[in-house]
């Protein structure tokens, strides 16, 4: 099992024991607005979502859960997705439990998984996209070494409405400085 460490976190693939935290995460209003993970009506659905995240066999995603190193409690979810091994590119998405926000969980997860993607998976580019209205996500991107590259017009379909929003495109390449400029 892949296991990554950051200053404050351990990252490992999802396990069914994460279901209660995953249920809370998927039903959080900000997650539903900015990075919905599908309907999650109960703990069984949350456990199934964790099992799906742990199944990397298709080769198109690598999903980790960040946990507190002391308690093992799940704090966040980060996924390298749309992995294309021919072009050696992928995208990255993330979500943090409301109680764990504002203390660097997202930026540490994104930085660690991106570094792993370059060093262990041989990728040459990871792309990060967020609605221009998602200011916290923009801060995460910049802090984790994903420079702003442009704005994709009308790229985000706002869940549950006909509204569309523009998206920032950020990218990081091997050799770009990551978290803390390293
Ligand atoms: C976006 C999200 C992942 C951030 O997680 P986090 O662990 O709190 O992120 P970090 O602590 O690493 O950094 C958060 C940054 O956003 C800033 N921030 C938080 N809320 C903000 C707001 N409303 N406006 C502007 N900046 C905001 C914080 O100040 C911090 O930046 P700073 O350290 O430069 O001051 C989390 O809020 C979340 O899960 N949101 C819902 C899902 C989501 O938006 N996912 C990303 C989709 S692209």
Say if CB 40 and CB 20 are below 8 A apart: no
Q: Is 98 in the pocket of ligand 1 (CB under 6 A)?
A: no
Distance, CA of 26 to CA of 31 (rounded, Å):
6
Q: What is the pLDDT of residues 13-54, one digit of tens each?
A: 999 999 999 999 999 999 999 999 999 999 999 999 999 999
Percent of the chain at pLDDT > 90 equals 98
Identify the domain containing residue 164 by its residue range.
4-181
26 CA distance to ligand 1 middle (Å): 16
Say if CB 76 and CB 66 are below 8 A apart: yes
Q: What is the pLDDT of residues 83-97, one digit of tens each?
A: 999 999 999 999 999
The domain spanning residue 138 has which CATH number? 3.40.630.30
Nearest CA to ligand 1 atom 32: 139
Closest ligand 1 atom to residue 97 Cα is: 39
Domain count of the fold of the chain? 1
To test the ligand 1 pocket, which listed residue (139, 158, 167) has its Cβ within 8 A of the most ligand atoms? 139
């Amino acid at each position: 099992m892949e296991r990554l460490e950051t200053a404050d976190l351990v990252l490992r693939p999802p396990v069914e024991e994460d279901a209660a935290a995953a249920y809370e995460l998927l039903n959080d209003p900000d997650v539903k607005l900015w990075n919905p993970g599908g309907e999650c009506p109960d703990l069984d659905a949350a456990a199934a979502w964790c099992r799906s995240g742990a199944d990397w066999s298709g080769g198109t995603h690598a999903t980790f859960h960040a946990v507190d190193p002391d308690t093992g409690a799940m704090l966040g979810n980060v996924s390298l997705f749309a992995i294309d091994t021919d072009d050696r590119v992928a995208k990255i998405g993330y979500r943090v439990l409301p109680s764990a926000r504002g203390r660097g969980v997202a930026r540490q997860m994104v930085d660690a998984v991106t570094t792993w993607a370059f060093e262990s998976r041989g990728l040459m580019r990871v792309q990060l996209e967020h609605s221009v209205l998602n200011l916290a996500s923009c801060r995460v991107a910049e802090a984790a070494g994903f420079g702003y590259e442009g704005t994709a017009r009308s790229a985000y379909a706002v869940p549950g409405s006909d509204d569309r929003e523009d998206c920032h495109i950020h990218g990081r390449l091997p050799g770009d400085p990551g978290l803390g400029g390293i």
